[in-house]
Amino acid sequence: MKLHILGCYAATPRTLSNPTAQILEIRNHLFLIDCGEGTQVELRRNKVKFSRINHIFISHLHGDHFFGLPGLISTFRLLGREKELHIYGPKGIKEAITLLFKLADSWTSYPLIFHELDSKEPLLLFQDAGVEVSTIPLAHRIYTNGFRFTSFYSERKLNIDAVREFGIGKEYFQKIKNGGSVTLEDGRVIPNQELTLDPPEPKHYAYCSDTAYYPDIIPLIRGVDVLYHEATFLESEAGLAKKTKHSTAGEAATIARDAEVGQLILGHFSTRYRNPDSFLEEAQRIFPNTLLAADGKLFEF
C-alpha cells in the first residue's frame, strides 16, 4: 500500500503548496482521491502513470477538492484514452463536469461513467477480487464523504516447505492456493491446511477530509491501519474550526485515539500557518503515532 500526496493544503493553490489530491496505490490499482487545481501537474511531477487511473473519488464539491478534474478528464482525451473512467462523487458532479464540455463542444472519446452519491449512510462503491471501497459520511458545510479502502487476499498462502516435503508439482499450486487438497500418487490425500498458511490480514486506509470533529465516524474507521484526517486549524482557532466545520489537529488526534487506528496522517492545513510542525506537536500530545502529510511525500505501509 503506497500513498502519494499530491496536495495537502486547504483553499487556494500557492507557489509552494497545492490543494487536496492524493493517489492510493493498492493491489495494482491507482485510485485518485480528490482532484484540486494542479493535480495533473503533480501527477507528472511525481511520475504517476495517467493510464493506470481508472477510478476517481471526489469527497465534495468545494473547489479545492475537484477544480482539477475537468482538466484531467480533458487531458485523458488528448492522450488518446480508450478505457472507461469511473468518477464517484456527490450528486451534481455529472452536471458540473458535462456542462463545461457541452459549452466547449469537447466531449470525451472514451466512456466517462459517473456514480453520483447522496446517501448519508455508508455505501460500498467498488469491489473486486482484492479491494473494497466504501464511503464514510462526514460533517461539513455541504454533503461530503470520506472513503475507506480495504485490501484483502482471498487466496491462502502457499507453504513452500510443506509442498516440497510432499513433492507436489507446480501444476497444483493454484489449486492449493484456492483452497483445494491434493491427492498423491500413493493415494494419500493431503489436506489444504497442511499445504497453506493463512493469508495476510486485510489492510485498511481511511481518508477523511473535510469534516468537523465528528465522533460518529469512529465505528466506520475503528482499527484501520492508516487514517488520513483533515487538520485545517490549530486549537487556538477552535472557534473558527467549529464555524467552518473543519477540524483542529487535536480533534483529529482524538478521533484517531478513540478509533484505535494504527497511524494518523494529518493534512488539509490552512495556509495561514507558516510551519506545519505546530500541527504535529498538538496532535502527538494526544496520539503519538502521528505524521504530517506534505506535497510530494510518499508513504508506504
The annotation status of 140 as a binding-site residue, yes or no, is yes
Q: Is 246 annotated as a binding residue?
A: no
Q: How far apart are CA 130 and CA 155, in angstroms?
A: 10
Catalytic residue among 64, 128, 161, 225: 64
Helix axes 277-284, 249-259, angle to 10 degrees: 40
Sign of dihedral through CA atoms 298, 288, 252, 264? positive
For the record, the C-alpha cell of 263 comes out as: 497511524
Is residue 216 annotated as a catalytic residue, yes or no? no
Answer yes or no: is 198 a known binding residue: no
- Residue 49 makes CB contacts below 8 A (sequence gap 6+) with 30
Cβ atoms of 221 and 261 within 8 Å: the answer is yes
65 is in an annotated binding site: yes
What is the full DSSP assignment across 267-297? E-B-TT-S-THHHHHHHHTT-SSEEE--TT-
The amino acid that residue 104 corresponds to is: A
Query: Is 216 among the annotated ligand-binding positions?
Result: no
Q: Which residues are catalytic?
A: 64
Q: Which residues are annotated as a binding site for Zn(2+)?
A: 60, 62, 64-65, 140, 210, 268
